[in-house]
Amino acid sequence: MQALANIARSRLSTRAFHASVSAPYPRPRRVVGRPPPPILAQTGVFLDEDEDIEEDIPYEEKHDYGSSSLGHLLLRQQRHMLNYMRLIEHDMPNLVQFRERFAPPQSDRPLVVRSIDYGGEEHPATAKRSVVVAVSRLPLKDEKARHVFKLLAGPRWSPSAPPDAGIGPNEGHESDGYVKISCEDFPQPGMNLKWISDALDKLIEKANAKSRKYAQIPLDTRHLEARRVKAGGNRGIRPSLRDFPSDWLPLPAAS
């Protein structure tokens, strides 16, 4: 009885539930990534390669769906560079006819206008305009008018050109210094530049006025000293008794 039970159990385990003939599952063909070196090919010794080498191939390329997303990005970059190469090769020679010889700025155009641009991107700083001008090149009457102009300019006046003015150290040494006026209160660059122009005209008009009540006032250079201290020029130097004004000391009592 035990033998009959074993035979029946073995027949039930091998019974097929479908009419098709069972076939072995096809094993994936092994893909060789690169040919072996010539020395190993002569000796008959081959390196054992990884069985999962196909996992590094993108899904699209492995199933013949075209290039992958990364491949399309690389192609787009190459087309972008090729477009610029074509512009350099074909269009740049046509710009030679627009070439002009450099002419230094004329004396009747002393204003230096500075602007900021971010390559076409929108930014609040693109509307800002700054104007730098030498005091000696302005239409001021005399030395007293230039002195009054410096007083009215206040902290906007400096004996040397500002670092961001676009004026080189060897372009000119103005004895009366420079004035820098900036404006970013309006949304359009032209409006800010117009406000600077009007403010500069008013300063010139007030400086050339006949009233000389400001001619005897000395220049206030505290903003220059504060700027120097902020930059670290006088850091670590403390005032002493030698810095006390001698004019403030009381006169010795007469004996």
Domain boundaries, the chain: 53-84, 112-231
Query: What is d(CA 151, CA 155) in angstroms, rounded to the nearest whole number?
Result: 9
Query: What is d(CA 147, CA 129) in angstroms, rounded to the nearest whole number?
Result: 26
181 with 204: CB under 8 angstroms? no
Q: Which of 53-67, 186-200, 201-215 has the highest mean pLDDT?
A: 186-200
Of 173, 178, 172, 174, the C-alpha closest to 149 is 178
What does the angle CA 15 – CA 17 – CA 20 come to, to the nearest 5 degrees?
A: 105
Q: What is the pLDDT of residues 212-244, one digit of tens each?
A: 677 788 888 888 888 887 877 666 667 788 888
At residue 5, does pLDDT exceed 90? no
Query: What is d(CA 46, CA 40) in angstroms, rounded to the nearest whole number?
Result: 6
Fold assignment, 112-231? Double Stranded RNA Binding Domain (3.30.160)
> In whole numbers, what is the pLDDT of the chain averaged over residues?
78
DSSP 108-157: T---EEEE---TT---GGGG-EEEEEEGGGS---SHHHHHHHHHHHGGGE
Residue 166 Ramachandran class (φ > 0 left, ψ -120 to 50 alpha, else beta): left
